[in-house]
């Protein structure tokens, strides 16, 4: 008979510092202990959930004495939804932790020779800063530990909200999210209440049955508002019911300038390969930045913190050191935001992006702003950016690259090294993969400036911009 594994409870543990991935750390008999939702200075009892040779992980079982730094979380869903893990941490300490994260990845772990890292650019807004949120409809409402303990019974087990981490088929019912303008909460709750009242079916994330799947809300600095409702439709009568919901939202929220819907009868939630239908208004909204207008469609990528995106792009443009005579390559250009943003200071800008729809938006964004010195190409970066491409379109003076979290493919780095631009501006949402790529570029380039930017308050995520200059 197998012996039952004994719970490990560690008592009176003092939390020492902020660690990676939004956790905090303490040391127990020389072993590092990572604890979720803890603040330096907390004294806690911890239940260990993972024990390895060199480290342990656990959660707070009991707060013995809270840290003098600890703040009361402002969101009622804190600790359950999985987002905004740093709410108890004062914003100044969040910034310090992100600054340290960049240093650790580039210097302590990456062993890169870098100049003094500039102080992180803070976000003016620490709440309601996102311009896009996606919510999921599910017929399986997640019950919190407290609700289970109290044997709470709900008349309605359908829910609309966020996926629970590590539980793909369960959704936490969200009443109020602090990440986006409150109009987002009002629209989501109105859709939910109407669906409850009229007994609409919510999707079963395992069997993929049920009419309502997702609702996406996009806001913009121009005041425009896009709502996309994604459904699963098999019969005409379901379509009639679904359009009644859309009409309800249209009547209740006249401020919606773009009300769209997508029929998704697939197993997965991706919408990039599906048709978008306009129920009311336009098929897009606009963002504005420094007098430039950027068209944002339902499938477009745009930095989710609009105001901080402006600060980020200003750093990138400043690092590029443009005089008006340079040929600039903008890699992973998306909808051409950076390319168009720097075009006034460059001779020509060439943008490359994997998503064809994004490239079409990039061309439109140049057109509507009267920008004539940009060229955009769609295709896989490692296949597009080749020596032949450079021979055809010219050797860049400056390369700006803003890759996904995984960083750049080796083939892309090889072509950059072949191209030998005078300067490389590397914008990254993941300093760990950025450090890896910088090591590979080190054969020809030295890092001359580093500027972290906080795009996502109350999370451990940080953007980092690095300037590389060719070695003599």
| DSSP result, 18-69 | E-GGGEEEEEETTEEEEEET--TT-EEEEEEEEE-SSEEEEEEEEEEE--TT
238, two tokens: 């379901």
Other Cβ atoms within 10 Å of 123 Cβ, number: 21
Q: Which residues are catalytic?
A: 429
Measured CA to CA, the distance from residue 56 to residue 32 in angstroms comes to: 6
Kindly tell me the burial class for residue 11, based on how many C-beta atoms sit within 10 Å of its own C-beta (0-12, 13-18, 19 or more): exposed
Q: Which of 292, 295, 307 is nearest to 342 (CA)?
A: 292
Tokens of 362: 């990039």
Provide CB contacts within 8 A for 229, sequence distance 6+: 191, 212, 214, 215, 216, 242, 245, 246, 249, 260, 261, 262
DSSP 350-388: EEEES-HHHHHHHHHHHHHTT--SEEEEES-HHHHS-HH
User: CA 421, CA 408: separation in Å to the nearest integer?
Assistant: 17
Q: Which residue has the tokens 């941490």?
A: 89
């Amino acid at each position: 008979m197998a012996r039952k594994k004994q719970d490990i409870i560690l008592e009176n543990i003092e939390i020492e510092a902020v660690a990676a991935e939004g956790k905090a750390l303490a040391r127990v008999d020389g072993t590092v202990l990572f604890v979720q939702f803890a603040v330096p200075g907390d004294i806690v009892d911890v239940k260990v959930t993972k024990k390895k040779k060199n480290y342990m992980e656990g959660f707070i079982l009991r707060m013995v004495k809270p840290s003098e730094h600890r703040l009361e979380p402002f969101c009622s869903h804190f600790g359950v939804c999985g987002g905004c893990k740093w709410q108890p941490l004062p914003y100044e300490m969040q910034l310090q932790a992100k600054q340290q994260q960049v240093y650790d990845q580039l210097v302590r772990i990456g062993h890169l020779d870098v100049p003094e890292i500039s102080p992180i650019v803070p976000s003016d807004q620490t709440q309601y800063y996102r311009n896009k949120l996606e919510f999921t409809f599910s017929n399986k409402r997640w019950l919190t530990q407290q609700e289970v303990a109290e044997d709470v019974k709900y008349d309605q087990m359908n829910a609309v909200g966020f996926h629970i981490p590590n539980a793909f088929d369960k959704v936490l019912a969200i009443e109020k999210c602090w990440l986006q303008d409150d109009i987002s909460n009002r629209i989501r709750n109105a859709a939910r209440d109407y669906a409850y009242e009229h007994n609409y079916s919510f999707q079963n994330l395992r069997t993929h049955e049920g009419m309502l799947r997702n609702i996406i809300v996009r806001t913009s600095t121009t005041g425009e508002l896009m709502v996309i409702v994604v459904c699963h439709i098999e019969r005409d009568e379901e379509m009639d019911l679904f359009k009644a919901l859309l009409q309800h939202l249209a009547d209740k929220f006249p401020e919606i300038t773009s009300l769209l819907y997508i029929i998704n009868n697939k197993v997965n939630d991706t919408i990039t390969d599906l048709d978008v239908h306009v129920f009311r208004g336009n098929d897009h909204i606009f963002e504005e930045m420094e007098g430039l207008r950027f068209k944002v469609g339902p499938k477009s990528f745009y930095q989710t913190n609009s105001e901080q995106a402006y600060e980020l792009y200003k750093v990138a443009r400043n690092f590029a050191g443009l005089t008006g005579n340079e040929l600039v390559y903008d890699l992973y250009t998306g909808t051409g935001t950076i390319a168009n943003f720097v075009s006034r200071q460059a001779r020509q800008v060439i943008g490359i992006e994997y998503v064809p729809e994004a490239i079409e938006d990039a061309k439109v964004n140049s057109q509507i702003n009267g920008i004539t010195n940009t060229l955009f190409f769609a295709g896989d970066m490692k296949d597009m950016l080749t020596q032949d491409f450079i021979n055809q379109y010219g050797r860049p003076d400056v390369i700006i690259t803003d890759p996904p979290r995984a960083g750049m493919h080796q083939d892309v780095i090889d072509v950059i090294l072949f191209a030998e631009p005078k300067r490389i501006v590397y914008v990254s949402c993941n300093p760990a993969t950025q450090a890896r790529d910088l090591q590979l570029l080190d054969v020809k380039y030295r890092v001359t400036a580093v500027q972290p930017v906080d795009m996502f308050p109350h999370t451990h995520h940080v953007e980092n911009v690095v300037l590389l200059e060719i070695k003599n």
